[in-house]
Amino acid sequence: MTLARDPEQTLLTAQRSLRLLGIISALFGIVLIVAFGYFNRLQRFRPYFIGMGFLVWFLPGVLMITCWWYLNRRNRIALRMAIILCAIQMIFAAILSALNFLLTPISILPIVMTLLWTLATMQLLVQLHRARPAVDFDAEHHAGFEAQVIPLASRALEREK
């Protein structure tokens, strides 16, 4: 399946993908915070898992859902923020993919999951980049304005009198 070149279709696909990745990321962050953070038997590692779950998965997931909400309204800042969040998520996924090969025990499931996570964020990043024209040049949602000249010189003359 090829990605659509129509910016409107790509924007709709990017919105669905952004919502899905945001929900999955936030839920995975909650599971990591609760299961491996608060219920961890080794108290020494609790803050690390809580911090990693919050910063790597939960917070970006909630921000992705927020960007999806504002992207439905064709907000340009939401699109740019979603691109930044997606790039950060891709960096985290690439780092964790590399760590899966370096740290023991090496298991196939974490390797596959982080590679899928990396590919999903790469695809979303491409979709968000292709959807930029649909948000940047949207006359229906961004009303135009008419420039008005404020006669400052006449007011200044009236004050002098």
Distance of alpha carbon 33 from alpha carbon 80, whole angstroms: 28
pLDDT of residue 158: 67
- C-alpha 14/C-alpha 116 separation (Å) is 17
What Å distances lie between residue 64 and 2, 56, 92, 154, CA to CA?
Answer: 24, 12, 15, 51
Distance CA 107, CA 100 (A): 8
Q: Which pLDDT belongs to residue 6?
A: 85
| The pLDDT of residue 136 | 78
- Give residue 115's pLDDT: 93
Q: Checking phi first, is residue 105 left (phi over 0); if not, alpha (psi -120 to 50) or beta?
A: beta
Q: Give pLDDT < 50 ranges for the chain.
A: none
| pLDDT value, residue 114 | 92
**What pLDDT, on the 0 to 100 scale, is given for residue 5?**
76
pLDDT at 25: 95
pLDDT computed for residue 103 by the predictor: 84
Amino acid at 20: L
pLDDT in tens, 41-76: 888 989 999 999 999 999 999 999 999 999 998 888
**pTM over the 0.85 mark:** no
